[in-house]
A and B are shown apart, each in its own frame.
Chain A
Amino acid sequence: MDLLDRASVDAAMAQLGERWGHLNALVNAAGPFTTGVKSFEDYTDEDWLEVFNGLTLSSVRTIRAGLPLMRSAPWARIVNVSAMSTKHQSPALVAYTAAKSALTSLTKNLSHSLAPHILVNTVSPGTFASDSFKSSLALLPGVDENDLHDIMRFIGENYDNHVHLDRAADPSEIGPVIAFLCSQRNTYTTGANVNVDGGSDFT
């Protein structure tokens, strides 16, 4: 399924419907970021469209295509993965943050319009030591990409982002939060924006 292609997403959901009949849990966690990190003046219109296409419209496509399958399901949940940088702005992340903010807004709106059958929530991760992030860090001097505390020190110095737990997160630490929000056990949380960020003053 190519999240940048409506026809591909529609086809995948149609295949899912034919095979299983309904959709219970949809997690939108797309994170393409091909334009890199740069200043506002350096972003072209094409850059902006690319970032919004990957980070926002990708979720629009999956939700729109999956909606009939979720409406027909006995229960249904959507979790959209946004970012803590929507609350703690970093100048170099201007396009990324804007697109993730749009996703957060979309989530809030849908939590209203899709109630009461479909519960829709945002999860906002802080600094996670994903393989891709660690690969980026490995190219930089002065930071140990395999040390969660050192990663957080680097983020604090370069992005003015400090957290109470004083370390970055392992990717395994966000899965259980998402799993709960998109499970049947979540019966009364919708429209929430759940931080998984190690604790920060700006939340």
Chain B
Amino acid sequence: MNLGFEGATVVVAGGTTGMGRAAPTASPPTALASRYSLARARTSTPRPPN
């Protein structure tokens, strides 16, 4: 399923904060998904289980 991120500007604010623009060609949301999956608590002593 194409979520329509082509050319979109995305900011993920978290432990691995970053920003970027998706490629102007069709692309699945894997970049964003993997970006988030890499996010982690910046500090954690200990991390609560949500």
Any B CB within 8 A of the CB of A118: no
Task: Determine whether the beta carbon of A27 is less than 8 Å from that of B44.
Answer: no
Q: Which of the residues A59, A127, A171, A180 comes within 8 Å of B3, measured between beta carbons?
A: A180
| A contacts with B: majority SS | mixed
Question: Which of A27, A59, A83, A96 contacts B10, CB < 8 Å?
Answer: A27
A113, CB-defined interface residue at 8 Å: no
How many A-B contacts if CB must be within 8 Å? 164
Asked if B9 and A22 sit within 8 Å, CB to CB, the answer is yes
Chain B binding surface SS class: loop
Among B36, B44, B47, point to the contact of A174 (Cβ < 8 A). B36
Verify if A101 is at the interface (C-beta below 8 Å from B).
no
- Report chain A residues within 8 Å CB of B15: 29-31, 132
Task: Determine the distance from Cα of A98 to Cα of B28 in the docked complex, in whole angstroms.
Answer: 35
* 14 A-B pairs in the complex with CB atoms less than 8 angstroms apart: A26-B13, A30-B17, A30-B42, A31-B39, A33-B45, A66-B11, A132-B41, A133-B41, A133-B47, A136-B45, A175-B32, A175-B33, A183-B4, A184-B3
